[in-house]
Structure 1
C-alpha cells in the first residue's frame, strides 16, 4: 500500500521534471519531437486565454494533443514491467497518467475552471513567466522546489482582465522561436 503515496509523489515530480526539462528544455528546439508543447500548445493557449482548440480535434490528427497522448502512453507502457513487483505503485502511476490527461484537457477547454481549480497551471500559461509553475495536477513539487510563482490565476477576475491586457503574447514579444526556423 506504500506504493500509492509513493506513486502520487513520483508522478507529481515526473510532471515537474518532464514539463521543465523535456517539454520546455528540448521543446524549444523547433526540430525536436517535443516542440509541439512550446510552439503549438503554448502559443494557442496564450492567444486564446488558456483555451487550446486542439483538444477538440479528432485524436488521429497529428496535433499537439496526439503527441501528448503518445508521450503519456509511453509512460504507461514503460511502467508495465514494474507491475508484478509494485502493483500499487504501478496502478497509481497509470491512474495519475490518465488523470493528468483529463485534467490538462479540461484546463485547456474551460479556462475559468482552470483559473479556479488549477491556478498554478493557469499561471504557467497566462502569467508573465511561462518558465515557472511546472506541475499540472497539483503544485507539490513547484512548492518544494521553489518554482511556484503566483500571477493571474490567484487574482480576482477584475484584476485578472487588467493583468492579461498588460501581458504581451510570447509570439509578439519574441520569446518563442519562429515556426519557420
Structure 2
C-alpha cells in the first residue's frame, strides 16, 4: 500500500490554483507586485536588480533594477544537489545552444555532444548563464519535459521569457 503524498497547505493552494488555471504547474508570476523587503537579508540594494532562488521551496524571486517590479516563479531543479551561494548573470542568451558538461557525458555517453537552438533544446528559448561554470537559469520547452541538467534551475518557457525581460548582465543572484 502506497502512502499518499502529504503537501503543506501552501503547496495544496498552489496546486489547486495551477490546476484551475489550466493545469500548468509552471504558471508564470505566481506573485505579482509583492515581495516587500524579502531581498534585504541577501542584497545591499536593488540598484542592479536581484534574483533570489530558494532551492528548498523551489521558488525564484526577481526584483527589477531599482526594485519597481517583483515577480516570483515556481522552478524545477536538476537531479543533483544544486550549488548555493552568490553568483551573477554573466550572459543572457535568447535561442541558446546546449552541450552536456564533461561529467554529464561520462554519465550519459549516449547523449548528443551538442544541441543547437530550437525545439529539441533542453534549455528552451532563453537562458541566463551564471558566473559559475555549467550553471544556468533557463526555460523548459514543455511541461513534463525531462528534469533540467545538473546545476540548472528551470522555469516554463512563458515564465522564463518574463524573467529574461526583467534581467540584465551583472545582476546579482543568490541561491539559498
More strand by share: 2
TM-score by length of 2: 0.30
TM score, norm. by length of structure 1: 0.29
